[in-house]
């Protein structure tokens, strides 16, 4: 793997299944990680576990991404606490699934606000300190369904597809300043949510995956660690699909 020694990383949704795997992957490669999420108690417990198991001087910063004021304060708080930001991982997201004809306005608004708007605000806020340092790595976690579509998730897919396009635009704007912006698009990953599926549901999903199984959080963490590294400096505006071959997208 690639060394992230001396680098400061902010991970949103850090106490969730994929978020915690990303934070662990970054910490194992030497990064100091600011763990962000809306549940302060859960964040605190995960930070203590991260330090105990992997060392380092990691911090937690509580932030509710549905609150615009808190979103705008997150990057300044990270700079105050960490002294700088080298890697931003926009991982946090929500779902409010419903068929389009039944989707309520708040189901649309909540998903767009957290999954798309908050990602934009954090990218924008991180640009100035990264441009000043002439180095930065922005990694946005999207989803395979953002490229393929999925019934009942028009709001989620609009947000994830929007993040992909937004990342490409941002990558072009900041590339000359040593900043890269990329996406990692997970397929089905083994988390607490997928663990709730029964055997028949799991078998149906696995049958659609050439690898024959769901991925692990570590698979996403490894992709993020690579994109966050100094060695990935010539990779920008790209999406790495981590889905076991379920959707082979160029």
pLDDT at residue 197, as a whole number: 77
pLDDT digits (tens, 9 = 90+) for 52-102: 999 999 999 999 999 999 999 999 999 999 999 999 999 999 999 999 999
Was 91 annotated as part of a binding site? yes
pLDDT at residue 191 is higher than 90: no
Q: How confident is the model at residue 126 (pLDDT cuts 50, 70, 90)?
A: very high
CB 148 within 8 Å of CB 247: yes
pLDDT at residue 1 is higher than 80: no
**Burial track 74-98 (b if 16+ CB lie within 10 A, e otherwise):** bbebbbeebebbbbbbbbbbebbee
pLDDT at residue 8 is higher than 70: yes
pLDDT digits (tens, 9 = 90+) for 164-173: 999 999 999 9
Percent above pLDDT 90 for the chain: 91
pLDDT at residue 193 is higher than 90: no
Q: How confident is the model at residue 195 (pLDDT cuts 50, 70, 90)?
A: confident
- Supply the residues annotated as catalytic: 156
Contacts of 102 (CB under 8 A, 6+ apart): none
Q: Give the residue-averaged pLDDT of 122-144.
A: 97
Averaged pLDDT of the chain: 95
Instruction: Flag the least confident range among 146-150, 152-156, 171-175, 192-196.
Output: 192-196
pLDDT digits (tens, 9 = 90+) for 216-244: 999 999 999 999 999 999 999 999 999 99
pLDDT at residue 213, as a whole number: 93
Was 160 annotated as part of a binding site? yes
pLDDT at residue 250 is higher than 80: no
CB 174 within 8 Å of CB 136: yes
Which two structure tokens, joined as six digits, stand for 47? 């930070």
Was 156 annotated as part of a binding site? yes
Task: List the domains of the chain with CATH numbers.
Answer: 8-242 (3.40.50.720)
Q: How confident is the model at residue 192 (pLDDT cuts 50, 70, 90)?
A: confident
CB 208 within 8 Å of CB 187: no
C-alpha 240/C-alpha 250 separation (Å) is 9
pLDDT digits (tens, 9 = 90+) for 10-47: 999 998 899 999 999 999 999 999 999 999 999 999 99
Was 27 annotated as part of a binding site? no
CB 90 within 8 Å of CB 119: yes
Measured in degrees and rounded to the nearest 5, phi and psi for residue 27 equal -65, -40
Q: Give the residue-averaged pLDDT of 173-183.
A: 98
């Amino acid at each position: 793997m690639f060394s992230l020694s001396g680098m400061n990383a902010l991970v949103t949704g850090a106490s969730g299944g994929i978020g915690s795997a990303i934070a662990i992957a970054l910490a194992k490669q030497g990064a100091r990680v600011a763990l962000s999420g809306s549940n302060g108690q859960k964040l605190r417990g995960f930070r203590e576990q991260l330090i105990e198991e992997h060392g380092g001087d990691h911090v937690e910063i509580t932030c509710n991404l549905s609150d615009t004021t808190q979103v705008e304060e997150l990057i300044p708080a990270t700079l105050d606490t960490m002294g700088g930001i080298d890697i931003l991982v926009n991982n946090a997201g929500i779902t409010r699934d419903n068929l389009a004809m039944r989707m309520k306005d708040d189901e649309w608004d909540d998903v767009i606000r957290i999954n798309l708007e908050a990602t934009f605000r954090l990218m924008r806020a991180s640009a100035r300190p990264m441009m000043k340092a002439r180095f930065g790595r922005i990694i946005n976690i999207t989803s395979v369904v953002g490229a393929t579509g999925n019934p009942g998730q028009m709001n989620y897919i609009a947000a994830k597809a929007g993040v992909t396009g937004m990342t490409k635009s941002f990558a072009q704007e900041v590339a000359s300043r040593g900043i890269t912006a990329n996406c990692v698009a997970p397929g089905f990953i083994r988390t607490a949510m997928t663990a709730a599926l029964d055997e028949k549901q799991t078998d149906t999903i696995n049958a659609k995956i050439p690898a024959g199984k769901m991925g692990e959080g570590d698979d996403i963490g490894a992709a993020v660690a690579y994109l966050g590294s100094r060695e990935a400096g010539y990779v920008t505006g790209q999406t790495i699909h981590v889905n076991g071959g379920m959707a082979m997208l160029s």
